[in-house]
């Protein structure tokens, strides 16, 4: 396997460890997914010996949260009406704050989590020399709905598992707005940013609340998914829902998602980068020992469907040209030209129409560029936020 230093550099992009049993003494994988709401993976033998319950069986009781040495805070925003008209009862939104706000709170940056991510995943990307400098800015890390700590199918007492309503990217943004205004007392912030699905939320912030921020920084995100992206996420969705252990969302233990892991490995980085970091003999061995992922399957489905439905141009008849006229915040769009997880075409098209600033990365890390090229991105963000 790759050296520990290389692992630490590339792991934050979620999928790579999300379907693998955690190593006994490596801290990187456990921080990638919401351990605070997921039980430790069972032994491999137990996973293979699982007996599917009847499809109409009642879901097993929710397991108590595992202890977290550095737990996030939970903002209670009450019953929350979604875009669909359904309601999340007693909705909660995960958050952490790093750095100190100035007197008029004009130095606050809001950072939304990526697909399957929790706020703890972002902590190592904040600080001097990182993506955002908390020495001069206050960074509010916000957990997206469905991430297993914010209200999700896996942790809702009133609406567990398949009973939890469908989510949209706009719903995630609205829940964050209610947290920031109603719980944290923020009326305006310096910037909103995010990576991957967090970048999708960043684009949506510009339309849902165009006056709320001065800057928008979507990183390897998209205003709407390209056809290739939709194909990839549909394959992920099919691999989950057609898994015989999924049981329509009423499983009694997390299903092993081997195909989901393989799709992730194929698309998170480039072929060149993957071949550089992996050995031939490790590929089969890695997938032979897959265990149930830490990220709950129902949570995964809700966030997958939210990304697939995401399109900021929908209220404008599908026209990005019309949509950009609503934007008020300055925009820095960061993409990797070889990203196969969230392909850069729609973001670059939007940036051109909006006359936005862009940073086009050309390295072979693909979707993992924000960690591989952290210094380059951090420098550009620092200049953009001055």
What is the rounded distance in angstroms from the CA atom of residue 67 to the CA atom of residue 69? 7
Looking only at the bridges linking them, the beta strands covering 138-142 and 87-98 are antiparallel
Identify whether the C-beta of residue 302 lies closer than 8 Å to the C-beta of residue 153: yes
What is the rounded distance in angstroms from the CA atom of residue 40 to the CA atom of residue 262? 22
C-alpha closest to that of 306 among 144, 143, 154, 161: 144
248 vs 26: which has the higher pLDDT: 248
The string of pLDDT tens digits covering residues 174-224 is 999 999 999 999 999 999 999 999 999 999 999 999 999 999 999 999 999
The string of pLDDT tens digits covering residues 306-364 is 999 999 999 999 999 999 999 999 999 999 999 999 999 999 999 999 999 999 999 99
Identify whether the C-beta of residue 135 lies closer than 8 Å to the C-beta of residue 128: yes
Q: pLDDT at residue 28 above 90?
A: no
| Separation in Å, CA 137 to CA 102, 181, 183, 219, 346 | 8, 18, 20, 19, 30
What is the rounded distance in angstroms from the CA atom of residue 76 to the CA atom of residue 173? 15
Helix (H, G, I), strand (E, B) or coil at 87: strand
| Separation in Å, CA 255 to CA 51, 164, 294 | 11, 18, 10
Residue 68, pLDDT score: 53
Q: What is the 3-state secondary structure (H, E, C) of 259-303?
A: HHHHHHHHHCCCHHHHHHHCCHHHHHHHHHCECCCCCCHHHHHHH
Looking only at the bridges linking them, the beta strands covering 87-98 and 73-81 are antiparallel
Domains and CATH numbers, the chain: 74-227+303-385 (3.40.50.1820)
Residue 127, pLDDT score: 95
Dihedral sign for Cα 189, 185, 111, 145, please: negative
Question: DSSP letters of 173-222?
Answer: HHHHHHIIIIIS--S-EEEEEEETHHHHHHHHHHHHSTTSEEEEEEES--
C-alpha closest to that of 219 among 136, 354, 342, 106: 342
């Amino acid at each position: 396997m790759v050296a520990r230093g290389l692992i630490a550099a590339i792991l934050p992009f979620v999928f790579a460890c999300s379907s693998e049993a955690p190593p006994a003494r490596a801290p990187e994988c456990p921080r990638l997914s919401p351990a605070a709401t997921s039980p430790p993976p069972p032994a491999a033998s137990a996973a293979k010996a699982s007996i599917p319950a009847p499809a109409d069986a009642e879901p097993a009781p929710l397991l108590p949260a595992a202890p977290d040495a550095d737990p996030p805070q939970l903002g209670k925003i009450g019953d929350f009406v979604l875009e669909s008209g359904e309601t999340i009862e007693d909705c909660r939104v995960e958050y952490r704050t790093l750095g100190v706000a100035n007197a008029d709170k004009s130095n606050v940056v809001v950072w939304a989590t990526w697909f399957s991510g929790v706020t703890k995943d972002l902590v190592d990307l904040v600080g001097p020399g990182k993506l955002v400098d908390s020495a001069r800015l206050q960074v509010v890390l916000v957990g997206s709905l469905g991430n297993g700590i914010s209200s999700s199918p896996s942790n809702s007492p009133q609406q567990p598992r398949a009973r939890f309503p469908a989510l949209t990217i706009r719903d995630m943004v609205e829940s964050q707005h209610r947290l920031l205004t109603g719980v944290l007392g923020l009326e305006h912030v310096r910037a909103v940013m995010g990576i991957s699905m967090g970048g999708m939320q960043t684009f949506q912030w510009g339309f849902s609340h165009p006056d709320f921020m001065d800057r928008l920084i979507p990183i390897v995100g998209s205003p709407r998914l390209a056809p290739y992206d939709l194909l990839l996420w549909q394959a992920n969705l099919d691999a989950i829902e057609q898994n015989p252990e999924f049981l329509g969302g009423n499983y009694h233990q997390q299903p092993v998602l081997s195909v989901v892991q393989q799709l992730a490995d194929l698309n998170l980085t480039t072929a060149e980068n993957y071949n550089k970091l992996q050995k031939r003999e490790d590929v089969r061995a890695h997938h032979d020992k897959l265990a149930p992922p830490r990220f709950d399957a129902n949570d995964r489905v809700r966030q997958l469907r939210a990304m697939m439905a995401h399109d900021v141009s929908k209220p404008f008849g599908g026209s990005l040209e019309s949509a950009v006229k609503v934007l008020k915040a300055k925009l820095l769009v960061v993409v990797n030209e070889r990203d196969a997880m969230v392909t850069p075409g729609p973001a670059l098209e939007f940036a051109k129409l909006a006359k936005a600033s862009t940073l086009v990365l050309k390295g072979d890390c693909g979707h993992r560029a924000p960690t591989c090229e952290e210094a380059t991105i951090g420098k550009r963000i620092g200049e953009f936020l001055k």
